[in-house]
Every structure is written in structure tokens, then in C-alpha cells.
């Protein structure tokens, strides 16, 4: 792939479009990136273009909440060499998946009087439907992982994504542990690193916006929160803000 400019397609499903913004305004690197890669399809950046591929890389942001999105996603998989979910919504459900904690009809009824034209289903990450070739995590997605991805594509090497928890970054920063020292309910121990331990370095507990770390011990952390005096509902909310559909955080998601 290093002999020609890789072609990139960017697709958006249910989300805030913040990751696409991170991508487009990849500020100091933006001009270099456009020279090295060819953006073949990105609705927010340019008109025209085709969504039919083929793409070297398809970047997908947003959670899947409707059937047509699944149909399109499968087509994208067929015509793309690599499919990479970008940002928490596409990686682990993210904020859109909070709605999975209630009955779909209840949630819909609170917003629309007539729900007969709504075709929404429970929110799911991309890898529930198609095979993916890596994850660019973060809410919004992190620059470090994105840079790693672009460089890897250009060099035709395997991307090295961070696979440890936020706690490691706190230690690297020499930050005081907000959980142990201040008794704040911090999601750092079960959350994938990449943000540089942003919240703890700003005097607040991590709220898990980068989504679950692989093999996270959610049960132990939930029990710890319980000992610290959090109610079952509070613990449930912590583990469903950014990873409702994931297996990793399921052990923290009990209401009673």
C-alpha cells in the first residue's frame, strides 16, 4: 500500500459527528494527511464522491440503531480492505447505547407522541455486525491512535493500539489516585487508556468515555464502589454511560 495513496471512505451513523470533526480538522497534520491519502467519500467534508468503494480503509463513526445502517455497513465491508470503527459509539456503543437500559418504546414515547414512524432498535457497536480490523477509541477519538492508524497504513504495518487501562496513564503522569486517595468512584481501572488520564488530572473521577478495556475486572470495581457507599443504581449508571452493550462491563450492570 505504500506505493500509492490509500483511499479512505468515512461513514456516519448515530452519533454527534465529533469524530469526523476530529478527523477533518486533524489540525497540524491535515495538509500532510490529504497529500498522503485520498478521501474518496466523506459527506461532511465534500459533495459528490461515491459510497460504493473500493476503499483501502473505511472509517465508521456512530452506533448502529437502524436496519438500513446494517445493510450499508455490510456493503462497505465487502468493498473495503480495512474497516475501522472510530470513537466510542462505533467501538462500544457509547452514549447512544444508554437507551438500551430502558424499553425501546418507553424511550421513544418520551420524545415522540406518534412512534409509528420510528424504526429505531437497540444501539450496537459496529463489530456486532461485521468483522473489524482494529479500533480507534475515544470520545472523541484520540489523536494518538488515529496517528498510529494512518502511519501504519502508510507503512503497511500492523497498528499498535493501546491496550491497558487509564490507571497506567495516571501513574505515568504521577497523578494522585482519585479513587484510593479521595474516594471518588473512578472508572479508570476498567477503562481503556488513550486520553492521558484526562479527568483524574483535572481533579475528577474518570467516567469511562473511552469504553471498556479488554479483560477489565468490572465486578471487582463494582464491589469496591458498593463498599464506598454507592447505591446499586449509581453503580449501574457508571457502567452504562459508555459501554452498555459490551461484555466487559456487564458484571457492573446489575440494578438490584
Partner 1 sequence: METRAVQIMNYTKKIEVDYLARVEGEASITVELDKGPAIKLKIFEPPRFFEGFLVGRKFDEVGDIVSRICGICPVSHMTTAIQAIEQAMGIEVTRQTKVLRKILCLSQIVASHLIHLYMLAMPDYYGYAGIVDMQSRFSGEIARLIKMKEVMNELTGLIGGRALHPVTHMPGGFTAIPPKDSFISILRKLKQIKPLAKEVVKDVSRFGVPDFNSSSEYVALADETEYAINEGRIVSTKGLNIAVKDYRRTFRESHVSYAFAKKSNIVSRSCFMVGALARLNNKFEKLQEQTKALAKQVDFEVPNSNPFNNNLAQSLEVVDGIERCIKLIESNTFEDEDVRRRAGSGEGCSATEAPRGLLFHSYRINRKGVVEQADIVTPTSHNFLSIEKDLNELVAQNRDKSRDRIRLLCEKLVRAYDPCFSCSVH
Q: How far is the CB of 185 from partner 1 (least distance, A)?
A: 11
Burial of 159 (0-12, 13-18, 19+ CB in 10 A): buried
According to DSSP, the residues that pair with 39 across neighbouring strands are: 8
**Binding residues among 8-27 for partner 1 as defined by CB under 8 A:** 12-22, 24-25, 27
User: Out of 209, 213, 218, 235, which residue is the one contacting partner 1 (CB under 8 A)?
Assistant: 209
Q: Would you give the DSSP letter of residue 142? A: P
Residue 39 binding partner 1, by CB under 8 A: yes
Residue 188 binding partner 1, by CB under 8 A: no
Record the cell numbers describing residue 43, joined without a space. Answer: 459527506
Q: Which residues contact 6 (CB under 8 A, 6 or more apart)?
A: 36, 37, 38, 56, 57, 153, 154
Q: Under rule CB under 8 A, how many of the chain's residues touch partner 1?
A: 62
- Contact code string over 87-106 relative to partner 1, x by CB under 8 A: -------xxx-xx-xx---x
Q: How many angstroms from the chain centroid is the CA of residue 228?
A: 29
Q: Which residues contact 1 (CB under 8 A, 6 or more apart)?
A: 56, 153, 154, 156
Q: How many angstroms from the chain centroid is the CA of residue 182?
A: 28
Q: Which is nearer to partner 1, 24 or 177 (CB)?
A: 24
Residue 215 binding partner 1, by CB under 8 A: no
Q: How far is the CB of 27 from partner 1 (least distance, A)?
A: 5
Integer Cα distance of 92 and 83 in angstroms: 15
Q: Which is nearer to partner 1, 38 or 160 (CB)?
A: 38
Residues binding partner 1 (CB under 8 A): 12-22, 24-25, 27-28, 30-31, 34, 39, 43-49, 65-66, 69, 94-96, 98-99, 101-102, 106-114, 117-118, 120, 139-140, 195, 198-199, 202-204, 207, 209, 233-234, 237, 241
Amino acid at each position: 500500500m505504500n506505493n500509492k495513496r490509500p483511499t479512505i471512505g468515512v461513514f456516519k451513523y448515530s452519533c454527534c459527528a465529533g469524530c469526523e470533526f476530529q478527523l477533518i480538522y486533524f489540525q497540524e497534520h491535515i495538509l500532510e494527511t490529504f497529500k498522503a491519502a485520498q478521501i474518496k467519500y466523506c459527506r461532511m467534508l465534500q459533495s459528490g464522491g461515491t459510497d460504493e468503494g473500493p476503499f483501502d480503509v473505511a472509517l465508521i463513526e456512530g452506533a448502529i440503531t437502524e436496519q438500513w445502517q446494517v445493510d450499508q455497513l455490510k456493503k462497505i465491508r465487502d468493498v473495503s480492505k480495512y474497516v475501522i470503527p472510530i470513537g466510542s459509539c462505533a467501538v462500544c456503543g457509547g452514549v447512544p447505547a444508554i437507551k438500551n437500559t430502558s424499553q425501546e418504546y418507553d424511550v421513544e414515547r418520551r420524545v415522540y407522541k406518534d412512534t409509528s414512524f420510528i424504526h429505531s432498535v437497540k444501539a450496537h457497536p459496529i463489530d456486532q455486525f461485521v468483522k473489524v480490523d482494529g479500533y480507534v477509541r475515544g470520545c472523541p477519538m484520540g489523536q494518538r491512535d488515529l496517528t498510529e492508524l494512518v502511519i501504519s497504513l502508510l507503512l503497511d504495518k500492523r497498528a499498535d493500539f493501546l491496550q491497558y487501562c487509564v490507571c497506567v496513564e495516571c501513574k505515568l503522569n504521577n497523578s494522585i489516585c482519585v479513587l484510593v486517595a479521595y474516594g471518588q468512584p473512578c472508572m479508570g481501572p476498567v477503562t481503556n487508556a488513550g486520553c492521558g488520564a484526562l479527568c483524574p488530572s483535572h481533579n475528577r473521577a474518570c467516567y469511562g468515555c473511552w469504553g471498556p478495556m479488554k479483560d477489565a475486572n468490572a465486578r471487582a470495581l463494582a464491589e469496591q464502589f458498593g463498599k464506598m457507599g454507592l447505591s446499586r443504581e449509581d453503580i449501574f449508571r457508571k457502567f452504562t454511560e459508555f459501554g452498555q452493550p459490551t461484555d466487559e462491563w456487564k458484571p457492573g450492570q446489575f440494578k438490584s
